[in-house]
């Protein structure tokens, strides 16, 4: 199982979510942590989050994370709707 680490930005953005979206986020984190290859579950990003991965939480919400293979760590960067994460619609 992968170790999960959270950035301060992630913690702040997580608290702003509804309880339903927090549950979806918790489920996604558990799925990533149990995965053999969490890299395969995300979409590799370009631009502002180049080198990071995005996990889709429904139609318009994203969980941005980074996989550190050597230490088996998943670093959670931010979670939120498309506009709050990427700064655009």
End-to-end alpha-carbon separation of the chain, Å? 34
The pLDDT tens digits of the residues spanning 4-19 come to: 999 999 999 999 999 9
pTM for the complete prediction? 0.92
E-strand ranges in 1-89 read 3-6, 43-44, 53-56, 61-68, 73-81
What tokens appear for 10 in the block?
Answer: 């992630």
CB atoms under 10 Å from CB of 19, counted, come to 7
All structural domains of the chain with their residue ranges: 3-82
The pLDDT tens digits of the residues spanning 18-54 come to: 999 999 999 999 999 999 999 999 999 998 899 999 9
The pLDDT tens digits of the residues spanning 48-88 come to: 899 999 999 988 899 999 999 999 999 999 999 988 888 87
89, pLDDT greater than 70: no
* Range 3-82: architecture per CATH: 2-Layer Sandwich (3.30)
């Amino acid at each position: 199982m992968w170790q999960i680490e959270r950035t301060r930005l992630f913690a702040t953005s997580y608290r702003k979510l509804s309880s339903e979206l927090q549950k979806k986020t918790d489920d996604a984190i558990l799925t990533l942590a149990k995965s053999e290859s969490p890299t395969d579950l995300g979409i590799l990003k370009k631009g502002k989050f180049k080198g990071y991965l995005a996990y889709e939480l429904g139609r318009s919400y994203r969980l941005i994370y980074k996989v550190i293979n050597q230490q088996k760590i998943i670093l959670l960067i931010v979670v939120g709707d498309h506009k709050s994460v990427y700064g655009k619609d």
